Amino acid sequence: MIRYKNLRSRLLAWIFDSMIVGLITFFLELFRSLDNFWLNIIITFASINVLFIYRIYLHNKTGQTFGKRIVNIQVVDSQTERHLSREQSFMREIIPMLVVNFSILALYIITWGNSESFEYSGLGVTMILIPSILIVGWYVADFISGYFNSKERVLHDLIANTTVVRK
């Protein structure tokens, strides 16, 4: 059973991965332009999706992000404890990916790029606050759910039929 006791390791891996993705996002943001609306949309979506692409690709390829590799844990199929399929890797990220992308898309549609006048309006605050609450709520519920089963499977593990094991 010790093989599955890894919530703290997962949190530590998440912190390492966030630092790596933060650096990538920082470099993407250097290309943002003050006067090119479409370039800004592309950079925004690339910046918010780099985390999902990073995790989906590496979980499918090796079962480990760089953070998971550092703390010596791996994502596997919960039935066979073998390598993840592409679909399982994708399903692990589907909820936060949808919430974040639809929120940003809605914000762009409503403001059509004119965020200065929108930022301090009631609608602007609502459009930023609600998705933020949803995504933070998802991650908190996701992490806490691991305390309620013997293999410490969190919500995204249950959705994708995966588990994380010590390597």
Mapped to the 3 state alphabet, what secondary structure does the chain carry? Answer: CHHHCCHHHHHHHHHHHHHHHHHHHHHHHCCCCCCCHHHHHHHHHHHHHHHHHHHHHHHHHCCCCHHHHHHCEEEEECCCCCCCCHHHHHHCCHHHHHHHHHHHHHHHHHHCCCHHHHCCCHHHHHHHHHHHHHHHHHHHHHHHHHHHCCCCCCHHHHHHCEEEEEC
- Residue 57's domain spans which residues? 2-166
pTM confidence score? 0.84
Reported residue count of the chain is 167
pLDDT in tens, 38-66: 888 888 889 989 999 999 999 999 999 99
Pick the more confident residue, 107 or 22: 22
Kindly tell me if the per-residue pLDDT of 123 is higher than 80: no
**The residue type at 12:** L
Domain count, the chain: 1
| Phi/psi at 131 (5° precision) | -60, -35
